[in-house]
Structure 1
């Protein structure tokens, strides 16, 4: 405790002592007034007068000497003046302040280190999150490109199939047109024969084809829609 603290405590005890004396004085006056007013009445609250008296005795004979003794033990130096004692007190206060300041600086430094460490951890976490997000975006872009490439390939295959089907259809139509044109030409170039008396289908085949085989006869019948080899005089027969 500093010198000022001891002074404050002594001043508090002095005020307490004065208040108790004033209270004792007031009680004495009241007692005298009661005694003068009524001699038959006994004084009341006699027990309460003992407590302030004991307090006064305790403060006077124990607390005040003890406080003075502590003051002399802690602060009193016969070789020092009051100004030097005050300077020493100031120095002690400065030393205590320096210790407190050193502790505060150490605490501030520790807090600063913790903040720097927390900031570094936050930066590392932010960098990891950014890298993770970049990897996810890259994977999403690659998946999107693969999906687009797959769709493009499917579209290309579908287009090729459509073109192949179109070409096949065109080739089929061209073949049908060619066959129709050939049949038309064959029909235009087809020869005919008018059946005369004493002629039959066999003799007609020998005359035009030099062959009276069943195959030749079947070809003539098919060209004319004949069910058999029977012909009539004056009938016009196509010769394929």
Structure 2
């Protein structure tokens, strides 16, 4: 059955439906006239029933018309009804490509900005962490240097104290040694320090005199008769 046959069939149903409608309208007018002629009768509360022609109209006109429109607009040879309905739904819900592309670009742009912001935040955080680590390292190195300096000063002070102690001990030992070897001389009449040095050391030089003076704690070469002088 081609499209022309469907159209002829629809036209026949439409003509039949119009004839039925005219007949129904004539019957309705007769009924109203009968009701108006007997005014004393109370109108009956009757339920309106669905006319037979309406059912026939739906079956023989609307359904074939819907099928005809479907075949005319959407049907393609070789395509199933399910596929055609799917394509129709996709056409209805399909978005404008330009709008979709613009939306994707906006999303990509926003994502790119977020990524850049996250990257900058990470770089700043890394810089802060590196700076803090460098400050901590510098503080630790300064602390170690201060401790090393204090340790070196303590070591030097200990060495100096040890050297002074050893020098003092050596001095005392030398004095004790000299005292053990020293001899005494009692100054006689007509003797002076020069003659005493010359007699004991065979040398009356200033160096020898200075040695004798230092050993006895004397400030000059003056001596007294009867004075005991230690000779180193």
Q: Please report the TM-score for the alignment, with normalisation by the length of structure 1.
A: 0.50
Q: Tell me whether 1:177 sits opposite 2:158 in the alignment.
A: no
Residue aligned with 2:162, SS: helix
The residue aligned with 2:223 is 230
Q: Distance in 2 between matches of 1:129 and 1:214?
A: 89
Task: Give the 4+ runs in structure 1 shifted more than 6 A.
Answer: 85-88, 97-100
Q: Distance in 2 between matches of 1:111 and 1:197?
A: 133
**Per-residue deviation, 1:139:** 2.8
Q: How does 1:66-215 map to 2 (within 5 A)?
A: 83=62, 84=65, 101-103=93-95, 107=99, 110-196=102-188, 199-215=191-207
**Per-residue deviation, 1:122:** 1.4
Q: Please report the TM-score for the alignment, with normalisation by the length of structure 2.
A: 0.51
Gap runs ≥5 in structure 2? 1-59, 74-88
Q: Distance in 2 between matches of 1:129 and 1:199?
A: 103
Residues 187 and 227, structure 2, Cα contact 8 Å, conserved in 1: yes
The C-alpha deviation readout for 1:93-120, integer Å capped at 9, x for no partner, is xxxx988744578756644553344234
- Judged with a 3 Å threshold, the aligned counterparts in structure 2 of structure 1 residues 154 and 87 are, in CA distance, closer, same or farther, namely farther
Gap runs ≥5 in structure 1? 1-80, 92-96
